[in-house]
Amino acid sequence: MKTVLFVCTGNICRSPMAEALFADMVKGRADVRVLSAGMGAVDGQAPSQQSVEVMAELGLNIKHHSSLALRPGLIDQATFIFTMTTQQRDVLHALYPESAEKIFALHDLEPVASHESPDIADPIGATVDVYRRTRDQIRAAMPAVKELVVSTPVAARYRVALAGDHGGVEMKESLKAWLAARGMPFTDLGSCSTEPVDYPDYAYKVAQAILTGAADRGVLICKSGIGMSIAANRFPGVRA
């Protein structure tokens, strides 16, 4: 399942229009989910009347849309994120650098004429004609969005082998919860106790999981990280 998230400021005009336009474009595809949110949104607000009106002209009903504030969880869930402006894109890149490769401004995919602003300006408070132009500007970008979304394969989820000595138990438990929340498969190879153990034994377990193909990546935890790295690097084909 690919999740496409459109982002604007208040999630009451531009991004709901983008959500509806793209949802209509991929209608019938069970492998694509479409959402929208706002960087400054308040949950539960209705869409602007003008946006409802101009979307109805295309036979699309957004009057039951309810605004949603952008949250880290939405960033994590999204396969692709499309903002309305360069500034919004750049802010999200700064706030979520680990997700920057999946965050685009709409004009990144559909460049506009050089004499025009590349951004999709906020029409809030403007006339219906302005909303209509905004709708059409967003609509023009949708084929390029679809091409990217449909043609990009879903990224493989790494199988992760986890291990730590007695000094790494607490951090390992937190990491397990983080991986589980994101649907990432993992194997806990110990230790599960704060009783003293020998860290090379656990470095060996993860190294073997990598070398045998049981895991794609490994995470080793000890108090400094140095001992685990040295122990794991004794195995040809493993680099910590």
What is the set of active-site residues? 8, 14, 122
Instruction: Return d(Cα 191, Cα 201) in angstroms, integer.
Output: 10
Q: In whole angstroms, give the CA distance from residue 43 to residue 236.
A: 53
> Closest Cα partner for 39 from 95, 79, 78?
95
- Tell me 85's DSSP state: S
Q: CA-CA distances (angstroms) from residue 5 to 30, 77, 110?
A: 16, 9, 17
Please report how the helices 49-56 and 128-151 are oriented relative to each other, as an axis angle in degrees rounded to 10.
70
Please tell me what DSSP assigns to residue 69.
B
* Structure-block tokens of residue 68: 């949603």
Closest C-alpha to 168, from 141, 184, 189? 189
CA dihedral 212, 216, 222, 227 (to 10 degrees): 60
Residue 32 is encoded by which pair of tokens?
């694509």
Can you point out the beta strands (E) in 108-240?
160-164, 186-188, 217-221
